[in-house]
Structures are given as structure tokens and as C-alpha cells.
């Protein structure tokens, strides 16, 4: 059962619309839709809210690379196990609009996950990964996630958040496998490229038959030698 949901991001106006704050976006939208209040709690260095079913929601205010400290403190205080924690974060390996749910695995250079894994001494917490796309050639990933997505990409990320919010009741009820199946089977299929029509083959014209010479024709024309 999931007892703690953590949205990752950076505090402050200058970061609130950047790709790295995708985890914040999801938790903030869930709080708004469910009527849950997120209050600043200095003890946990985070914005904290409690859902009607008893699950805690957390937005660390310690900046991304120190996200693990608020998670460790709240999880320790309420005796929440790592496998009962779900972390929502931006994912460079997926295009905008893609969302994936899994437990454990690597951290792929994500500073927020790195700190959480170190603080909890395990990778075995759950992750909800919101695709934000790969950086273009010549742009570092660390710079890319601190930029605002295009209007088109933001719309795709918001659509992925919509899909995630639709399965949140299942996640909170402890049926994470059902939520995972629903998220992963509803990914939009890429349209197959249209096949180019093959050029029509040229039909060979039938060869004209040359009539055979009539016997004695040359002789009649040129006479005998």
C-alpha cells in the first residue's frame, strides 16, 4: 500500500514552470482536485498534506539535490517503509506525454532520486515517471530540465498527468498493479507511416514482326549477276 507520495521539483517562482518540476505539477493538481491542503511544515522542510484515506503527500522545499532529507524525516516519523513510498518525477528517457510506473531500478543521473536512494538506503521505492523528452544536441540534461517546455510539450505532459490522476484512486487503494496496467496499456500508438505507392510498371510493347523476304525478290530488283 502507498502511504507517502512525493512530488519532486525546486521551490521558487523561477523554477515553477520548468521541466524539473513535473512532480510538483502532479501533486499540486491532485491536491486541488481532491480538496487537500498542502501546508508548509518547517519540521520536514516541505509542503505537506494528508489525504482522506490517510496517505501523506510531500513537496520537498530543500531543492532537488536534497530531496531525500524531507522524505527520510517524514517516512521515519510515521514509520513508512520504502516500498510504501511513491516518488513522482520528470524523466528524460521518455517523450512528453508518456508516463510509466515501476518499483525500484536505477536513478539515471536524476539528482532527486539519487538523494532519496541514499537517504532511504535503497532503490526499492515506487516511481511515477513523467516523460519530458531528451535534450537537443549540444544541451546538457541539467540545463534542459531547468528550462520551460514548449506549449506543445507542456500540453503533452499535462495529458500524462491527467492519465496519472485517473489511476490515483487505485494507487491509494493499494492496487498499484492495476494502476500500472492501465497506464501502460493506454499509451497512444504511433501512426504507421503511409506506404508509398509503387510506380506502375511499364508494359513492353509487342515487337513488330519483320515479314520474311519473298523468294526471288532481290533477284527481280537487281537482276542476275
Q: Measure the CA–CA gap between 58 and 48, rounded to whole angstroms.
A: 5
Beta bridge pairs of residue 60: 46
The residue to which cell 500500472 is assigned: 180
Three-state SS for 28? Answer: helix
CA-CA-CA-CA torsion sign (104, 43, 61, 174): positive
CA 60 to chain centre: 22
Please give the angle made by the CA atoms of 125, 129 and 133, to the nearest 5 degrees.
150
- 8 A C-beta contact, residue 142 and residue 178: no
Contact between 6 and 71 under an 8 Å Cβ cutoff? The reply is yes
What are the cell numbers at 108?
Answer: 539515471
Radius of gyration of the chain (CA): 32
Q: How far apart are CA 225 and CA 40, in angstroms?
A: 123
Residues labelled as active-site residues:
20
Amino acid at each position: 500500500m502507498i502511504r507517502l507520495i512525493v512530488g519532486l521539483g525546486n521551490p521558487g517562482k523561477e523554477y515553477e514552470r520548468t521541466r524539473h518540476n513535473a512532480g510538483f505539477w502532479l501533486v499540486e493538481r491532485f491536491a486541488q482536485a481532491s480538496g487537500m491542503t498542502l501546508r508548509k511544515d518547517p519540521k520536514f522542510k516541505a509542503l505537506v498534506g494528508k489525504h482522506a484515506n490517510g496517505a501523506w503527500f510531500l513537496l520537498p522545499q530543500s531543492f532537488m539535490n536534497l530531496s531525500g532529507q524531507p522524505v527520510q524525516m517524514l517516512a521515519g516519523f510515521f514509520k513508512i517503509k520504502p516500498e510504501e513510498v511513491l516518488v513522482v518525477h520528470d524523466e528524460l528517457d521518455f517523450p512528453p506525454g508518456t508516463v510509466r510506473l515501476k518499483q525500484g531500478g536505477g536513478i539515471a543521473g536524476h539528482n532527486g532520486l539519487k538523494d532519496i536512494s541514499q537517504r532511504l538506503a535503497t532503490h526499492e521505492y515506487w516511481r511515477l515517471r513523467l516523460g519530458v523528452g531528451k535534450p537537443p544536441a549540444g544541451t546538457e540534461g541539467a540545463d534542459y530540465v531547468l528550462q520551460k517546455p514548449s506549449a506543445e510539450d507542456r500540453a503533452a505532459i499535462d495529458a500524462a498527468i491527467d492519465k496519472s490522476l485517473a489511476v490515483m484512486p487505485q494507487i491509494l487503494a493499494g492496487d498499484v498493479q492495476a494502476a500500472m496496467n492501465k497506464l501502460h496499456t493506454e499509451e497512444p500508438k504511433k501512426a504507421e507511416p503511409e506506404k508509398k505507392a509503387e510506380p506502375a510498371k511499364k508494359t513492353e510493347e509487342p515487337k513488330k514482326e519483320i515479314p520474311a523476304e519473298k523468294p526471288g525478290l532481290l533477284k527481280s530488283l537487281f537482276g542476275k549477276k
